[in-house]
Amino acid sequence: MPQDYRFSFGPWNIHEGADPFGPPVRAPIPFHEKLPLYQELGFEGVQFHDDDAVPDLNDLTAAQIADQAKEVKTMLDDHGLVTELVAPRLWEDPRTIDGAYTSNDPDSRAFARERSHITIDIANILDTDLIVLWLAREGTYIREAKDSTKAVDQLVEAINDMLAYDPNIRIAIEPKPNEPMDQSYIPTTGHALALAYMTDDPERLGVNIESAHAILAGLDPADEMGFALARHKLFTVHLNDQNGPKYDQDKAFGSVNLRRAFNQVAVLERNGYGQNGEFVGLDVKAMRTQKAEVAVKHLRNSRATFLRLVELVRSLNDVAVQECIARRDYEELDALILNHLLGVS
Ligand code: XUL
Ligand code: MN
């Protein structure tokens, strides 16, 4: 069934270009100035970290947090935007230096749970039931520092706590194999879904698959998505691209490997992704070299590439594909796909 897609990104995807080796190169754009850009660029959904919506929330009372979140909701309404998801930012506070849910320090674990409750409160005000957990610091720099078996129980307990705190929320775990940690505890979709099925309410657990994170794990993002889609567990995606196993690059979708991007679009399209309200999320960053006045082209380009690839998926000669498969002539299939991508027959 042909379907339309709706797109989302987070305010962090319009950024100042700082990297670990250099300061910002573009002036920060305040949140209220980013909002009009969403519709201009063809986006309808906003992804938030809790403190993207309510900055400095650790210093605020519950009432102040609620008031600020309500203001953000009004701003979204004014711009015809909706909130797709909210994610607790559990990797910047001094209390999460050694991890959040899996910290060796019980006070840090308690902070992480409390902060996750606040994230859920904000999500409720912003009118979304979807919480994303990127488990940034749940892992180790050296194996000996933590107990990997205990970490599984700690993660399950933390997720159960969130499920119990609000019976309506859904949680999408975003796996990533490394960075900032040397080794993360939930590196792949398989790990994330195994964890999901250990919780009190697996129905409400799924994944957010980021293309670059899968590539960093040495895996194919389309197959990771297919694995999750087989059990309706793909709650959202972070499409982007990545040039091999190095630091997380968040390059524009399809910019490194167009065929790999085509296969991601194909698996989404063929499994009806989006038909239950899922967004096509783009977790992309502009190159540091990009001048401020043109520093949203990575979003425009990624969305355009996705839509062009949808057209290519739909116009693929499925009969010819099936004939190649039936003959086990995968060299012919290879050529057929490449020629299709090249626009020649
Ligand atoms: C980190 C990453 C995050 C999450 C949201 O690599 O992708 O932006 O997507 O917390
Ligand atoms: Mn991401």
269-293 pLDDT tens trace = 999 999 999 999 999 999 999 999 9
**Count of Cβ atoms closer than 10 Å to residue 315 Cβ:** 9
Please state, in angstroms and as integers, the Cα–Cα distance from residue 331 to each residue in 325, 327, 335, following that order.
10, 11, 6
Distance CA 339, CA 345 (A): 6
**Which of 176, 184, 208, 239 has most ligand 1 atoms within 8 Å of CB, for mutation?**
176
In 3D, which of 36, 48, 40, 61 has the Cα closest to residue 9? 48
Residue located nearest, by CA, to atom 2 of ligand 1: 134
**Which of 210, 240, 248, 249 has most ligand 1 atoms within 8 Å of CB, for mutation?**
210
Q: Which atom of ligand 1 is the closest one to the Cα of 136?
A: 1
Distance CA 299, CA 246 (A): 22
Distance CA 299, CA 46 (A): 13
Q: What is the mean pLDDT of residues 240-251?
A: 97
How far does residue 251's CA lie from ligand 1's centre (Å)? 13
Work out the end-to-end distance of the chain between its first and last CA atoms, rounded to an integer number of angstroms: 25
Give yes or no: 52 in active site.
yes
3-class DSSP assignment, residue 266: helix
Q: Which atom of ligand 1 is the closest one to the Cα of 49?
A: 10
Q: Which residues surround ligand 2, an ion (CB under 5 A)?
A: 210, 238, 283
Mean confidence (pLDDT) of the chain:
98
Q: Can you give the pLDDT at residue 345?
A: 77
pLDDT exceeds 90 at position 249: yes
Residues with CB under 6 A from ligand 1: 49, 87, 132, 134, 174, 176, 210, 238, 248, 283
- For the chain, percent helix, then strand, then coil, each to nearest 5? 50, 15, 40
Distance CA 298, CA 254 (A): 11
Give yes or no for a contact between 278 and 236, defined as CB atoms under 8 angstroms apart. yes
Higher pLDDT, 345 or 254: 254
How far does residue 215's CA lie from ligand 1's centre (Å)? 15
Give residue 2's pLDDT band: very low, low, confident or very high (50, 70, 90).
low
Give yes or no: 232 in active site.
no
What's CA 201's distance to the chain center, in Å?
Answer: 22
Residue located nearest, by CA, to atom 8 of ligand 1: 283
Q: Spot the catalytic one: 52, 121, 248, 250.
A: 52
pLDDT tens column, 7-36: 999 999 999 999 999 999 999 999 999 999
